[in-house]
Amino acid sequence: MAEKNIVVLGAGFAGVAATRRLAKRFKKNHDVHITLIDRHSYMTYMTELHEVATDRVPLESVQYDLGRLFAHKKNVSLVTDNVTKVDHDKNVVTTEHGRYNYDYLILAMGAESNDFGTPGVKEHGFSLWSFEDAVKIKEHIKATVAAAALEHDEAKRKAMLTFVVVGGGFTGVETIGEMIDWRPILAKENKIDPSEITLILDEAVPTILNMLDRPDADLALRFMKKKGVDVRTSTPITEIGADYMTLKDGNHVPTHTVIWTAGLKANTDTSDFDMEQGRAGRLVTNEFMQSKQYANTYVAGDLSLNTNEGDRGTPQIVEAAEQTGNTAAEHIVATINGTTPKPLKSSYSGFVVSIGAHYSVANVFGSIHLSGWFGTIMKHMINLLYFFTTFAGYYIFQYSMHEFFRNRHGRNPFWGHISRYGNVLWSVPARIFYASMWLVDCWYKIQGSGSWFNGKLRLPFTWLYPKVTTSGASEAAGTAKKAVETAAAAPTNEFFSLSYDYGKQPMMIFKHLPSWYESVTKFFIPNKQTALFMQEFMTIVEIALAVCILLGLFTWLANAITIGLVVVFCLSGMFYWVNMWMPFMALALMNGSGRAFGLDFWVVPWLQKHLGHWWYGDLKSIYSKN
């Protein structure tokens, strides 16, 4: 087969889905090569842009490096460049810095904000449909509140502290929702009263969140009003100036910030690509997401308008982007392999609209309606599922860190309870104490009369000892029985306590092995030789763990293993209630305790750097094909 070049333009949800599908399908076909071109070296996780714009999460939390996403896809080349032209006659894509021949082309360059020609939006408004937009909004809001805090003119100060979001769709509602959470923080940081900050959500039509069922949308509306958002419906905007906006009803609202989320149109970079345009400039396709003019050209995601889905095409949402991307990819696969292609089969699981970090309204699978905290959890589960399905384990970790664990001002679903930037210095004494306790325990196991290394069986498993016969027990068997009884049988005066009581025996967690655990242990330790090996081996492991914890080396892992050991000791009938503090201590020490006066301070960053490099390759600001 002659070599085939497939070029994908745009690494958003649609472009990434299409590229992944192509890479998988042509994994073993070395004649097919895929090139993914985007102006960024990362995929922008668009659905969380409002969180960046409102300072809930750091900038990098929505930048998913393409090199990492495609680290092991050998048939994919990444290019970071701005696409300027497509020549359908010569089958060439031109970028600012190069030219790329293609046999098949997928356009997935997304959408952009549509101001419907409203005067002043371009000059004075803020759109929220790219990473750069989000950064601009965040910096503007921070600077404006800081300047307002020093403004003596009451009217000007009020205008500066009035923030308007235009558009009652999910982007607009999610943005104003985050502003609700940000308001008290901005106020505190700038020493002003939060009530001075006015939040307005403006919608031209009579209702908001029209993709949800009315009862769900009404819940969202009530929540926003309760939180002090001035929600205005049926109020189209006629003009935006540097310090005002005017409404169709004649109202004039002084404000320095209007965030425009009221509409979308196709990415205007594609407007001179000589392709048929439909509603809002979207590029028209058939049911295979194939251009009606050029058989080797496909359009996917927000940019596409599959007329088979009706006048409005597929909705401009993530699921549609992925499904259209996959359909385009599958059609190319079918064309190259000579198989029968399948048309787009749209199916949407629903919507989750978050209004700040703790409240969401969800309508999923048509029948599940959630609101409040459960809606928020659903949203996080959907995001995590996305990373799971794209096999982006690194980003599951990063997402969890940004959204749950390294999050400021309580802006996470648990009001900050699971997130704290703490000083781990205070856990250093606990770390040393805990490690010492394990070392003391091991000291008795390696020397003295109770040593585990002198060939005597110490494990209290009954099947390891010779059975005592009625005709007269041998001396060895008698000794073994005694050992087992001492270890496993309950002393008569045992007593439950988390401390020793003089003259009493501490109480074991499990006096006898649970039967399922006995079967497992019998399998792994069937006889005396194995048991002798295991007791010595386990002691060495314990010493190694204790030393690691003491030195703060792999502290998280070492403590996690000690928890596992405690569980094993409990089930084996070798652990007492008085030592129950140990697993809880280990849990506490897993909180980065080895980073303070411990080797993890150097070792973990070193490992992150080298393992990351080995697995993902270099992080680059610009990817290029050559």
- The distance of closest approach from Cβ of residue 95 to ligand FAD in the complex, given in angstroms and rounded to an integer, is 7
Output helix, strand, coil percentages for the chain, rounded to the nearest 5.
45, 20, 40
Query: Residue 8 CB, nearest distance to ligand FAD (Å)?
Result: 10
What tokens does 155 get? 């009217």
Shortest distance, position 623 Cβ to ligand FAD, whole Å: 12
* Nearest residue (CB) to ligand FAD, 121 versus 459: 121
Q: Taking phi first (over 0 means left), then psi (-120 to 50 degrees means alpha), and beta for anything else, what does residue 10 get?
A: left
CA distance 200 to 179: 10
Which range of residues in 4-12, 282-290, 532-540, 571-579 is near ligand FAD by CB under 6 A?
Answer: 4-12
Q: How far is the CB of 63 from ligand FAD (least distance, A)?
A: 10
Does residue 201 belong to the site contacting ligand FAD (CB under 6 A)?
A: no
Verify binding: residue 78, ligand FAD, rule CB under 6 A.
Answer: no
The binder of ligand FAD chosen from 76, 78, 93, 109 (CB under 6 A): 109
Residue 612 beta carbon to ligand FAD: minimum distance, rounded to whole angstroms = 23
Asked if 316 interacts with ligand FAD (CB under 6 A), we say: yes
- How many positions of this chain bind ligand FAD (CB under 6 A)? 35
Q: What is the DSSP letter of 290?
A: B
Which of residues 174 and 542 has its CB atom nearest to ligand FAD in the complex?
Answer: 174
Residue 36 host element (H or E): strand 32-38
Q: What string of DSSP letters covers 536-604? A: HHHHHHHHHHHHHHHHTSSHHHHHHHHHHHHHHHHHTT--BGGGTHHHHHHHHHTTTGGGSSSTHHHHH
- Binding flag, residue 299, ligand FAD (CB under 6 A): no
Query: Least distance from C-beta 207 to ligand FAD, angstroms?
Result: 19
Nearest distance, CB of residue 409 and ligand FAD, angstroms: 20
The correct pick among 174, 203, 542, 600 for binding ligand FAD (CB under 6 A) is: 174
Residues 22-61 close enough to bind ligand FAD by CB under 6 A = 37-40, 44, 46-47, 49-50
In the complex, minimum distance from the CB of residue 523 to ligand FAD, in angstroms, rounded to a whole number: 49
Nearest to 589 by CA among 618, 560, 625, 614: 560
Inter-residue contact 38 to 130 (CB < 8 Å): no
- Is residue 321 part of the contact set for ligand FAD (CB under 6 A)? yes
As a whole number of angstroms, the distance between CA 38 and CA 95 comes to 10
CB atoms within 10 A of CB 340: 6
Helix (H, G, I), strand (E, B) or coil at 87: strand
With binding defined as CB under 6 A, does residue 83 bind ligand FAD? yes
**Nearest approach, Cβ of 35 to ligand FAD (angstroms)?**
12
Q: Interface residues for ligand FAD in 496-535 (CB under 6 A)?
A: none
Which residue is listed with tokens 């509140």?
A: 145
Q: Binding of ligand FAD at residue 169 (CB under 6 A)?
A: no
Q: Which residues pair with 76 in a beta bridge?
A: 34
Exposure of 553 by Cβ count < 10 A (0-12 exposed, 13-18 middle, 19+ buried)?
A: middle
- Asked if 269 interacts with ligand FAD (CB under 6 A), we say yes
Out of 72, 82, 222, 443, which residue is the one contacting ligand FAD (CB under 6 A)? 82
Region at 459 (left for phi over 0; alpha for psi -120 to 50; beta for the rest): beta
384's tokens: 């995590």
Residue 563 · residue 587 · CB < 8 Å: yes
Q: Which is nearer to ligand FAD, 12 or 594 (CB)?
A: 12
CB 354 to ligand FAD: min, Å? 8
The closest residue (CB) to ligand FAD is: 12
> Under the criterion CB under 6 A, does residue 552 sit at the interface with ligand FAD?
no
Site residues (vs ligand FAD, CB under 6 A): 10-15, 37-40, 44, 46-47, 49-50, 82-83, 108-110, 128-129, 170-171, 174, 267, 269, 301-303, 316-319, 321
